[in-house]
Structure 1
C-alpha cells in the first residue's frame, strides 16, 4: 500500500499536463462578391500555438491572387488596406471577420458557387502551413453557422 499514494500523486500530476497548444485554423468561410469580377473575401479564426508566429499569406487555387487586408476606421470613415502579415500571439486567437481582418480573393474561378467548399492554405513565418476548407456563401447570404 506504500506505493499507492505515490501512484495517485503521479497520476494527478500527469492529468495536469495537457497537450501543448498547437497552431490551428477553423471556422473558414468565403463570401462571394455582389458584382461579378469583383473580389470575394475569406474569413476564419487562427489559434496560436505554444510559440508566437506570424501569418504571412493565405492562398487558394480558386483565386488568381489573394491579399491580407484590414479594415481601418479613420474618424468614422472606414477603409480597407493591405497588410503584409498578421502576428499571432502564443495561445492567442486572431479572428478574420467582416468589418475587420479578411483575405481578399481576386479573380475567383467560375466554379466557385454558394454551397461549395474551397481550400485555403495559410503560410506562417515559422514555415508551418495549414489548410482549411472554407464554406462558400453568396453575397447576400448570412455567414455559415460553425
Structure 2
C-alpha cells in the first residue's frame, strides 16, 4: 500500500512539472502565471499586428479575445495557417514586461478552411478531389 501511494505521489509531482495550463488573454492579464511557468495562450491574431523583425525569423504580434490583448514574441518558422484574423495557440512563458515569449505556435482554422491547392477549383472539382482521396 505504501509503495502504491509513493508511486502515485511521484507520478503526480512529475506530471505537475510537465503540465501546461491554457489561458485566454483576459485571464492572463487579470491573473498572470508565475515567471518561468510554461503555459498556453490562445486567442485571435489581431489584424495589422504581425511585425517581422530584421533577423527574418522573429515575429511579434498581438493576441486578443475581445476583452484583453497580449503582445507575443516568437522566433522560428510559423505554421502555414498563421495569419492575421485567425486563431492561434502559443506555448511559452509570460515575461515580467507583459510580453508572452512563445516557444511554439499552433495555428487554428475553422470548418471553412480551404487549402490553397483547392481554392481555385470549382465546387464540383473540389468534391471530386475529396471523394478520390477518401476512396
Q: TM-score, normalised by structure 2?
A: 0.26
The structure with higher relative contact order (CA 8 Å, sep 6+) is 1
Name the one with the larger strand percent: 1
